[in-house]
Amino acid sequence: MVELEKTLQYAAERSPYYRQLFGGRVPAFTNVPTTDKKILSERTADFLCVPSEKLAEIVTTSGTTGAPIIYRLTAADLDRLAENERQSFECAGLSAADTVVLAVTLDRGFIAGLAYWLGLQKLGCRVVRVGPTPALITALVEQLHPTAIVAVPSTLRLLTGLTVAKAICIGEPVRNRDFSLNAAGQAIATGWNAQVFSTYGVTELASSLCECPAGNGGHLHEDLLHLEILDDAGQRVPDGEVGEVVATPFGVEAMPLLRYRTGDCAAVFREPCACGRTSLRLGPIVGRKNQKLKFRGTTLFPSALQGVLETTAGVDTFVIIARRQDELSDAVEVVVHGSVADPALRDALQGRAKCAPQIRHAPREEIEALQMPANARKRRYFVDLR
């Protein structure tokens, strides 16, 4: 692939990190060692391929799974970012005919809001930048009657009585592994009378994928990104099987990354989509690799517990807490607020997630504080204290 070779050669020539890693000899792409967040965090400056005067934007990762990483972009990188999002929104069926509410913050070093705004502008949409403020979202949706909204699912679920044709959901899952809508996706589809679209994006890749109306995975922009799905040993897993998403973005000028381990776990699918596209599709993210739980002889992702909690009557809100118990098992606690009885919740968890963690009831305020700690950009339902 031409773009892959160009990216490999550019990184080998310009990146201090890759120059040192390769030792003057450019390997075949499949022999390039993978890179991860730990390496990038510890050696961020060594990945920079341009002088500081050429930089146009400096952003940070969310810090959900560790200290935020500084990521730098040139003007050319911003153009690439805009094109990536243009293709993603076009995949969802948006066009210059649409008015789109952008209910995502553009401040606090957040790349996503910037990326979506750039992409919608490039697509020619009329953009209403309201941010994640419920009252303002409500007022402007009622007044302007937009055709689409881009927002975090937990924000959309706070609002009722509003309607758009399309809800582009970011940052939180809205689909189960089999592509069906999960509880959040169903609530948005019903509450907003909207078609729900799932997206996937990573700050360090300056890339994202979005579903088409068929809802069978995020379509890869093959001119902008290369994807692999690897097991723990670094070997590729068969299509349709879950492994870690490893990605190489094309055309990045400031901080190119080769075979970057995202830490996210999903499967890819290559058969043609019902929409007619033949590009690779990325399935729903089933969890984070470093969040996988060991519990009484089995392994599971917190998302399995979350799926049960979101659909159990009497659970108003919740958070899942993991602590290290010993080398063979983690201690898992489900903290809930609501009218659900412990036996009913325990039966639901055992029956559907094959897991019976400790259950504790708590005030809504305590759970809210765990979900949205100080300076958090998005709500979390899993707290890892291991």
Q: What is the CATH number for 312?
A: 3.30.300.30
pLDDT for the residue numbered 66: 59
Q: Choose the final residue of a domain: 286, 321, 346.
A: 286
CA separation (Å) from 29 to 3, 34, 264, 336? 12, 10, 21, 47
Same domain, 267 and 339: no
Which residue ranges in the chain fall short of pLDDT 50? none
CA-CA-CA-CA torsion for 189, 193, 198, 199, nearest 10 degrees? -140
Same domain, 228 and 352: no
Counting the structural domains of the chain, the total is 2
Residue 303 domain boundaries: 292-384
Q: Choose the final residue of a domain: 256, 271, 286.
A: 286
What is the maximal distance between C-alpha atoms in the chain? 64
CATH, residue 148: 3.40.50.12780
Same domain, 184 and 324: no
Instruction: Give 3-state DSSP helix, strand, coil % of the chain, rounded to 5.
Output: 35, 25, 40
Q: What are 6-40's pLDDT values in tens digits?
A: 999 999 999 999 999 999 899 999 999 999 999 99
pLDDT for the residue numbered 374: 81
224, 260, 263, 246: which is closest to 17 by C-alpha?
260
pLDDT for the residue numbered 326: 84
Same domain, 325 and 282: no
pLDDT for the residue numbered 112: 93
What's the pTM value of the predicted model, to 2 decimals? 0.87
Strand-pair partners of 347: none
Q: Nearest-5° angle of CA 23, CA 29, CA 34?
A: 75
Same domain, 347 and 274: no
Same domain, 112 and 146: yes
Same domain, 124 and 240: yes
The separation between CA 249 and the C-alpha centre of its own chain, rounded to angstroms, equals: 16
CA separation (Å) from 263 to 111, 245, 297, 343, 363? 19, 7, 23, 34, 32
Same domain, 139 and 89: yes
Same domain, 340 and 366: yes
Alpha carbons within 13 A on the beta-carbon side of 242:
16
Q: What are 143-173's pLDDT values in tens digits?
A: 999 999 999 998 999 998 999 999 999 998 9
The answer to whether 127 and 102 have CB atoms below 8 angstroms apart is yes
How many other CB atoms are there within 10 angstroms of residue 23's CB atom?
A: 8
Same domain, 333 and 245: no
Same domain, 103 and 213: yes
pLDDT for the residue numbered 238: 97
The mean pLDDT value of the chain amounts to 94
The separation between CA 286 and the C-alpha centre of its own chain, rounded to angstroms, equals: 11
Same domain, 50 and 106: yes
What sign has the CA pseudo-torsion 78, 80, 81, 83? positive
Q: What are 60-80's pLDDT values in tens digits?
A: 987 655 578 999 999 999 999
* The one-letter amino acid at 230: L
Q: Choose the final residue of a domain: 286, 321, 337.
A: 286
pLDDT for the residue numbered 296: 82
Structure tokens at 55: 């930089």
